[in-house]
């Protein structure tokens, strides 16, 4: 079973993290938060964005990037950044891989990116745009990884109830 992992490096905006948490619950994805966070995990804005799903979220926090690496040895980590050469569709996501996103104001630090150039990925955009919203970026890349893993463990069909027309 595919069990993907989203990693947020020092997220700053609680609403973004709440939305991402909700997406993780809806997809059976684990969320990893690398401190320092720009908010407290009990903040109202975080809970509001994550709605009542936050209690169902598989979330782990780490005191820093070194702590994250120590507790996830050998993890395959894709680094989402505007500085990557490859797009997010040019890689094959393993069922247990980690996809890291940087903080809203600065992204993933360059010293981390330099060490991980071969797994750095980007979402194509026109030149004049600095970056996409963090929640949108996570959704775009996560759903590509889920698609590549055949949406393993996810409901693929809805149930549309027909309305009766009297015309």
Q: For the chain, first and last CA: distance in Å?
A: 48
Residue 73: what are its φ and ψ, rounded to 5°? -65, 135
For 49, other C-beta atoms within 10 Å of its C-beta total 21
Q: Report which DSSP code applies to 107.
A: B
Q: Is 52 helix (H, G, I), strand (E, B) or coil?
A: helix
Q: Any known ligand binding at 102? A: yes
Our measurement of the distance from residue 22's CA atom to the centroid of its chain's CA atoms, rounded to an integer in Å, reads 11
Q: Determine if the peptide bond prior to 36 is cis (ω within 30°).
A: yes
C-alpha to C-alpha distances, 122 to 18, 100, 109, nearest whole angstrom: 23, 11, 15
Q: Any known ligand binding at 107? A: no
Residue with tokens 């079973």: 1
Q: Any known ligand binding at 140? A: no
Residue with tokens 């120590």: 70
Q: Binding site: what residues are annotated? A: 102, 123, 131
Q: Binding site for S-adenosyl-L-methionine: what residues are annotated? A: 102, 123, 131
């Amino acid at each position: 079973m595919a069990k993907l992992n989203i990693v947020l490096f020092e997220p700053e905006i609680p609403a973004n993290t709440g939305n991402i948490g909700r997406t993780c619950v809806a997809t059976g994805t684990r969320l990893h938060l690398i401190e320092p966070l720009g908010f407290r995990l009990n903040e109202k804005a975080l809970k509001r964005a994550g709605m009542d799903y936050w209690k169902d979220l598989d979330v782990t926090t780490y005191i820093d990037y070194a702590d994250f690496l120590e507790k996830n040895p050998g993890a395959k980590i894709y680094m989402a950044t505007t500085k990557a050469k490859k797009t997010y569709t040019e890689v094959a996501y393993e069922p247990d891989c980690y996809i890291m996103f940087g903080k809203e104001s600065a992204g993933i630090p360059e010293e981390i990116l330099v060490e991980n150039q071969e797994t750095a990925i980007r979402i194509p955009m026109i030149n004049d745009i600095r970056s996409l919203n963090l929640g949108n970026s996570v959704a775009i890349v996560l759903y590509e990884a889920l698609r590549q893993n055949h949406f393993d463990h996810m409901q693929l069909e809805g149930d549309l109830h027909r309305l009766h027309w009297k015309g």
